[in-house]
A and B are shown apart, each in its own frame.
Chain A
Amino acid sequence: MELKFLASDRVEAFVSYIMQKKTVYAPQRAGKHSVALKKVADPGAVVLDYARTMQSVKKFFLPPRDELLQFNLADQSFAPAEVKPLDAVLLGIHSYDRAAIDRLDYNFSQGHAERNYLTRREGVVWVGVSFEPDEFHFSGSVGIRPHDTEGFDVFLTRARDGYLVEVLTNAGRELTAGFDLPATDQAKPQPGHFHQHIFLPQAKLNEVMGASYNNPVWEETAEKCVGCGSCNIVCPTCYCFNVEENVDIKVSGGTRERIWDGCMLREFTEVAGGEVFRGGLAERQRHRVMRKFKYLSDKTGHPWCVGCGRCTAYCTAGISIVSIVNRCISDYEKHAATAV
């Protein structure tokens, strides 16, 4: 792959250039400490060197509130929600967030292929950027490295005084065509080191997690957990939703909408008659973690956790998914050792 060079002082010009071709969404400052993915108005506001956004790119394809249909109460008619392709450049995306979209694509394509999500997914040009693992990232443990270019059309790797640019697809070539990116003989730098690790590869984890159903770690985690569901809301691969009706103030019509929901919330499994199928926080934690590391990976061969570290970084109770999984691994190994 031929490497080109984008000097730090030309990033703004590069963003301006691609903005002429397509709408651009990119990480930008949101308040003092956070960075969020937003539509770019000012190319100078784009931040390519960041740890993580609180919300991933998921929000563009599966918005927190998403209209399904509009109804008219007078004549009981309805119209499907108008859903348009995003048709934009997603710039400055990390490899784990791109990998998360592969998982959502799977969910919304398997079985019944869903128009709402799949329509929005159209027309996206992905421009990735490498990241420096911080104290929460552990995507290396699920096979996703900071420099992975999988799924991107263009990839920027942080280097001395700028970025090494790989143009990977035709869409990437179209996007960058006409902008002067000189060739460089700089080699791609070694990716940064992770500070968090799961101690076993996924291939082994299925077996470990399968044996961890009754591990005390679920109860111990539940003692700290407040059941707020933040971990679900910030997770780039969580896709569960609830459906609500929204009636307008004149009570003449309204919308049916889906809203992000979370399996950590008690009502998630409540049915008429008062039965709650996962009534305890321990059961809900187990479900959340098993979903990421067992249920869906048994089915697909891919872990449903991409190692972004969000659920841990934003947990008000300081619960770490890496510690939970590692505890399951060490108990499993201890058990195996004593069984011999």
Chain B
Amino acid sequence: MKLNELVPQQDPVDLYLPVMSEIRDVRPLTDLETLYTVALPDGRDLGHQPGQFVEVSLFGVGEAPFSISSSPTRKGVFELGIRKVGLLTEKLAELKPGDKVGIRGPFGHGIPVEKFRGKDVLIVAGGIGLVPMRSMINYVLDRRDEFGRLIICYGSRSDKELLFTDEMESWRRDPGVDFHVTVDRGSPEWEGNTGVITTLIPGLELDLGKTVCCVCGPPVMYRFVLLALKSRGLPDKSIYMSLERRMKCGVGKCGHCQINHSYVCQDGPVYHYPDLKSLEEAL
């Protein structure tokens, strides 16, 4: 088939224009991370899926992708958990309520929640990977009767870097949540688990036929978590992974996010693990 026959005729659109949105609240999570509450104009709803991302920009500074941390069940505003690492994120950290940011999105394929319905949901989050996974966690908590058990494994480098510690307390107390946390190196006050995140997996109580898992964390984490999940006998088809790549456009045009033939901003960031096996560069 000719190339122009492969694409349906559709009207071209402006892909790079942000929607100016208001910062409603700024809450520090740690020394490095901040939680921003953002409102689109006119009370418009973002309409995202857990696991999707938006492009956030400040004029004169830049634009970058950030996961949506709030659940779509909580309407009106949305939340972003952002770590200071460079130009844009440092400037974002200076923002106050009432300030404006540019938003494009939501983009990408998030977690296919319909595949998780009726199942036990296992979340494995490393470090800042908890930011996007929190969207799914709160989604499950808000629609409790649509899902089975909620099992959360969270690993962080140190107890000082733990995110959402207040929410963690409520997860710990919730009898419907099986919450596990570990840190690589604990401070003297730390009384919880120490060790990398994979040390949590052998002890989990899992109904293998009923569990669906989503993993998100730093690049080094994925292989080890996969090994641990496989040695528990969790089938590949029950595993989803959220991957990070450099992204500029978010809409499949700039080429930055490509893993072999796949565009992470379009096919991902959340992938079904069986689909990742044909992508040699994925993990």
Q: Which residues of A contact B (CB under 8 A)?
A: 68-69, 71-73, 76-78, 80, 102-103, 105-116, 118-119, 213, 239-245, 247, 251, 253-254, 256, 258, 261, 263, 268-273, 275, 277-278, 283, 287, 290-291, 294-296, 298-302
Which of B39-47, B60-68, B172-180, B232-240 binds A?
Answer: B60-68
Inside 8 A of A113's CB, which chain B residues have their CB? 10-13
What 6 A-B pairs are tightest by C-beta distance, nearest first?
A: A240-B255, A295-B261, A71-B59, A272-B85, A115-B12, A118-B12
Q: B261 and A110: CB pair below 8 A?
A: no
Whether the Cβ atoms of A269 and B245 lie closer than 8 Å is yes
Known interface pairs A73-B59, A256-B63, A295-B261. Does A268 touch B252 (Cβ–Cβ under 8 Å)? no
Q: B254 — which chain A residues lie within 8 A by C-beta? A: 240-243, 258, 261
- Contact call A106/B261, Cβ cutoff below 8 A: no
Chain B contact surface mostly: loop
B210 within 8 A of A: no
Interface size class of B (residues with CB under 8 A): 35 or more
CA distance A234 to B245 in the complex (A): 25
A206 to chain B: closest CB distance in Å? 11
Inter-chain CA distance A76–B19, complex, in Å, is: 11
Assess the B59–A254 pair: CB atoms within 8 A.
yes
By a CB distance below 8 angstroms, the chain B residues around A300 are 3, 6
Does chain A have a CB within 8 A of B4?
A: yes
- Binary flags per residue of B52-89, CB closer than 8 Å to A gives 1, else 0: 00000101111100000000000000000001011001
- Known contacts A71-B60, A77-B20, A298-B261; 7 further A-B pairs (Cβ under 8 A): A110-B7, A115-B15, A244-B62, A247-B60, A261-B255, A269-B256, A277-B245
Q: Is B159 at the interface (CB under 8 A from chain A)?
A: no
Set of chain A residues within 8 Å of B4, measured between Cβ atoms: 102, 105-106, 109
A254 touching B261 in the complex, CB below 8 Å, given contacts A80-B14, A80-B17, A106-B3: no
Q: Say yes or no: B261 contacts A296, CB within 8 Å.
A: yes
The reply to whether A213 and B280 contact each other, CB–CB distance below 8 Å, is yes
Partner pick for A271 among B2, B100, B244, CB 8 A cutoff = B244
B17 / chain A contacts, CB cutoff of 8 Å: 68-69, 78, 80
Q: Is the CB of B252 within 8 A of A240?
A: no
Cβ-neighbour of A243 out of B6, B100, B249 (below 8 A): B249
Q: List 13 A-B contacts (CB under 8 A).
A: A73-B59, A106-B3, A110-B7, A111-B266, A114-B13, A114-B15, A115-B15, A240-B255, A241-B249, A242-B248, A272-B83, A287-B258, A301-B1
User: Do residues B261 and A273 form an inter-chain contact, with CB atoms below 8 A?
Assistant: no
The residue that A270 contacts in the complex, of B11, B218, B246, B252, with Cβ under 8 A, is B246
- Of the listed residues A102, A109, A247, A277, the one surrounded by the most CB atoms of chain B closer than 10 A to its CB is A277
Asked whether any CB of chain A lies closer than 8 Å to the CB of B260, the reply is yes
> Do B60 and A241 have beta carbons less than 8 Å apart?
no
Q: Verify A103–B3 contact, CB threshold 8 A.
A: yes
A271–B59 Cα distance when bound, in Å, is 21
Residues of chain B within 8 A (CB-CB) of A239 are: 253, 255
Contact of A268 among B3, B12, B256 (CB under 8 A): B256
- Flag if A245 contacts B16 (CB, 8 Å): no
Q: A76-B20, A273-B85 are in contact. Are A302 and B255 (CB under 8 A)?
A: no
* Residue numbers in B under 8 Å from A71 (CB-CB): 59-60
| Closest CB in chain A relative to B1 CB, distance in Å | 7
Closest B residue by C-beta to A298: B261
**B13 and A112 contact, CB distance less than 8 A:** yes
Is residue B141 contacting chain A, with contact meaning CB distance below 8 A?
no
CA distance in complex: A283, B6 (Å): 30
**Chain A residues whose CB sits within 8 angstroms of the CB of B61 once the complex forms:** 245
Whether B31 is near chain A, meaning CB under 8 Å from some CB there, is no
- Asked if A271 meets B12 with Cβ closer than 8 Å, knowing A76-B20, A300-B6, the reply is no
- Tell whether, in the assembled complex, residue B260 and residue A290 are in contact, meaning their CB atoms are under 8 Å apart: yes
Enumerate chain B residues within 8 angstroms of A256, measured Cβ to Cβ.
Answer: 16, 57, 59, 63
